[in-house]
Amino acid sequence: MAKISSCYTLCPLIDQRSFLGVSEDSVTGCVIVTLGKNIIIKFKLSDQKQVSSWSSKHKLSAPVVFDATGQQYVGVCNANLIVLWEDSKVQLNKPVKFKFT
C-alpha cells in the first residue's frame, strides 16, 4: 500500500492554477515544468534551479514532453497546434508547427 509522506517543492509557481504538468527531460536529473499560459521551464532537481526556459506566443494546452527519438521538445498549443523545438532554441518565435482540426 502506498504511503504519502511530506511534500517536496519542485519550483515556486506564481500562479498554481496555470500548472499543466511535469515531465522527464533529456538530461538526467532535470524535469520540464509546463505552465498553461505559455511558459516552459527546465529545472535541475538536485539544486531546484532553473536551467532554461521558453515561452510561446500561443497558449499551451498540454504538458510539454521531450521526444527522445527526434531529440526535440513537443508541445500542444491552442488544442490544435503541435509545436516542435530543440534545446538550443532560445526563443520560440518560429518553431516547427503542425496544425490539425
pLDDT at 17: 78
Q: Is 85 exposed, middle or buried (0-12, 13-18, 19+ CB in 10 A)?
A: buried
For the segment 30-57, the average pLDDT, to the nearest whole number, is: 90
Range of the domain at 26: 18-99
Q: What is the pTM of this model?
A: 0.81
Per the domain annotation, does 95 fall within a domain? yes
Per the domain annotation, does 2 fall within a domain? no
pLDDT top residue among 8 and 98: 98
What residues does 66 pair with on adjacent strands? 73
Helices (H), ranges, 14-81 = none
Cell numbers describing residue 50 = 532553473
Per the domain annotation, does 7 fall within a domain? no
Q: How far apart are CA 29 and CA 33, in angstroms?
A: 13
How many domains does the chain divide into? 1
Per the domain annotation, does 46 fall within a domain? yes
Per the domain annotation, does 31 fall within a domain? yes
What residues does 61 pair with on adjacent strands? none
